[in-house]
Amino acid sequence: MIEFPGTETEVRQLDRFLTATERLPSTPELDDMRARAQSHAERLSNAVSIGFAGEFGAGKSSLANMLAGADILPTGPQHLKLPLVIVTYADTPETTVGWWDREPKVYSGIALEKAAADNPDFISVGLNTPALREISLFDLPGSGALDDTYKQTLDLLKFVDCAIWCTNGTNAWRETERHLWAQVPQNLRDNSLLAVTHTDLPPVRDALDRVLSRLEKEKSGMFRAIVPIGTPVAVRAMAQEPEPDFALWETCGGQNLAEKVLEIASHRRRTDLEAARQDLAADFLPFLETLTGAGEPAASDTRTVQPSLESALPPLDNPILEDWLAAIASIYEDLRDSSDIEPAAFLQSCQEIVEDFAERLENGSEIDPEADWIPGEFEKATDLLLLLQFESGEGPLKDAISILAQLSDNLAWAGSTVASAPPKTGT
């Protein structure tokens, strides 16, 4: 089974770098690093986009419907003219009408006709389909052989990570198709499939071996793989009751296509992940070390506590600790932004964060089994921070900072698997 690699650790590290450098003076080097970090974070946080393209009548919308698991895109000859349609994950079905130069409009449910009437530049349809958590589907408008729609196809392909070019099996891979596809950047061609559609039709089915043999000879440098598919049969196979007809799903090409789509999407995700890791190791994390190694701030200066915590606790492969440090950083960002923040408000923010992490620690799955005492420390810290809100002066602020530092130290050990642990000191 093809699985997508996790990106949570790298996204947290990228966000940490962006947060730490947000207020630093601009330099060409820093601006370049921030731009790269932002690009990596966006890529790794979003689903891998799969573009469906092809000439009119090639069956691309039917194919997109099949993979989305819902019959939402109009197919065949129809009067509803649609721009680019993006199918993504959403908890509740919705349709977003978008323009390049103004704010979008949102309709509840699937409302393609309403959306098309607004004459948008693109439409996004959100479905509660688990597979769409990892991939999003871009259904590009069909192109013609003798008009300017080819230019639109080329422009829209710039927005996708992978592509499926659908060619009609009755006259597969015509010269006009090859001419357009030759203009697509090589990195996209390396993550693309050629789907030979309508293989359920007798004329196509009878000549399929010969057609595939020809296409295999021509695919070098153009496509990662060639996949024949009888879309109507695949849809019928999955719609069988009480369970899908998996044998038919496999023989019509549905299983092979689904696997190939996941393969190219996973390959693209791994490529993006490796690029992010290289930049983190070579540039971003070393730069953060230069920031956190500049010396210890005064204990009473609440505006500089974050760097002292980070210098005491270097970046670890410890998800709960990284989330904790990010939460603490948000408190100090509020302090920097508001010169008149009340001590009680600061202490309340600390209490709320500690309380949230106390609840998170209750299941115990994120910490060392031997650290079962730590959730109790967070509960005690919650009570202490509540009591500090009723005191005055600088003392409560210093005590709160000390509590946060101690809890950080506890998490640094509890979320790791080191052999030797520090003494179990209380809050």
What are the CA-CA distances from residue 265 to residues 131, 194, 304 (Å)?
Answer: 12, 15, 43
Cβ neighbours around 195 below 10 Å, total: 28
Q: Identify the residue whose tokens are 């490529």.
A: 271
Which stretches of 241-373 are DSSP H helices?
A: 246-251, 254-279, 285-292, 305-312, 319-337, 343-361
Whole-structure pTM value:
0.68
Give the whole-angstrom CA distance, residue 6 versus residue 4.
6
Q: Which CATH superfamily is domain 46-252 in?
A: P-loop containing nucleotide triphosphate hydrolases (3.40.50.300)
Cα radius of gyration (the chain): 27
Q: How far is CA 43 from CA 13, 47, 126, in A?
A: 14, 8, 19
Q: Which of 182, 185, 142 is nearest to 160 (CA)?
A: 185
pLDDT at 426 over 90: no
The pLDDT of residue 294: 40
pLDDT band at 391 (very low <50, low <70, confident <90, very high): confident
Region for residue 13 given its phi and psi (left: phi exceeds 0; alpha: psi -120 to 50; beta: otherwise):
alpha
**Which is more confident, 330 or 40?**
40
Q: What is the mean pLDDT of residues 4-28?
A: 89
What pLDDT does residue 292 have?
A: 65
Question: Would you state the pLDDT for residue 348?
Answer: 86
Pull the structure tokens for residue 151.
């230019």
- Identify the pLDDT of residue 275: 96
Domain extent listing, the chain = 46-252, 296-427
Phi, psi of 84 (to 5 degrees): -55, 130
Q: How confident is the model at residue 123 (pLDDT cuts 50, 70, 90)?
A: very high
Report pLDDT digits (tens) over 71-90.
Answer: 888 876 665 788 999 999 99
Instruction: Name the band, by pLDDT with cuts 50, 70 and 90, for residue 262.
Output: very high
The whole-angstrom separation of Cα 5 and Cα 272 is 11
How far apart CA 152 and CA 142 sit, in angstroms, is: 9
Average pLDDT over residues 199-213: 95
Q: Considering only residues 144 and 63, tell me which one the structure prediction assigns the higher pLDDT.
A: 63
Task: Indicate if the pLDDT at residue 385 is higher than 70.
Answer: yes
Q: What is the pLDDT of residues 404-424, one digit of tens each?
A: 888 888 887 765 543 333 333
Confidence of residue 290 (pLDDT cuts 50, 70, 90): confident
Amino acid at 158: K
pLDDT at 308 over 50: no
User: What's the CA gap between 50 and 130, in Å, rounded?
Assistant: 16
Instruction: List CB contacts of 396: < 8 A, sequence separation 6 or more.
Output: 343, 347, 388, 389
- Does the pLDDT at position 366 exceed 80? no
**How far apart (Å, rounded) are the C-alpha atoms in residues 152 and 250?**
34
- H or E stretch including 73? none
Q: How many CA atoms lie within 13 A of 230 on its CB side?
A: 18
Nearest to 174 by CA among 202, 194, 201, 151: 194
Query: What's the CA gap between 48 and 161, in Å, rounded?
Result: 6
Question: What pLDDT score was predicted for residue 52?
Answer: 95
pLDDT exceeds cutoff 70 at 39? yes
Say yes or no to pLDDT of 327 above 50.
Answer: yes
| pLDDT (0 to 100) of residue 174 | 92
Residue 399 has what pLDDT? 83
Separation between Cα atoms, residue 201 and residue 238, nearest integer Å: 19
Residue 347 CA to residue 401 CA, distance in Å, equals 9
* C-beta of residue 266 within 8 angstroms of C-beta of residue 4: yes
Cα–Cα separations (whole angstroms), residue 168 to 57, 195, 198: 7, 9, 6
DSSP secondary structure of 316-346: -S-HHHHHHHHHHHHHHHHHHH-TT--HHHH
- Whether residue 44 contacts residue 6, with contact meaning beta carbons closer than 8 Å, is answered with no
Contact 174, 144 (CB under 8 A): no
Average pLDDT over residues 367-393: 82
At 337, is the pLDDT very low, low, confident or very high (cuts 50, 70, 90)?
low
SS3 195: strand
User: Which tens digit of pLDDT belongs to each residue from 48-68?
Assistant: 999 999 998 899 999 998 988
Q: How is the chain split among helix, strand and coil, in percent rounded to 5?
A: 55, 10, 35
* Pairwise CA distance, residues 410 & 422, whole Å: 9
Proportion of the chain above pLDDT 70, given as a percent? 86
Q: Are 200 and 254 spatial neighbours (Cβ–Cβ below 8 Å)? A: no
pLDDT at 304: 39
Taking the CA atoms of 178, 181, 186 and 187 in sequence, report the sign of the dihedral they define.
Answer: negative
Question: Residue 322: which pLDDT band, with cuts at 50, 70 and 90?
Answer: confident
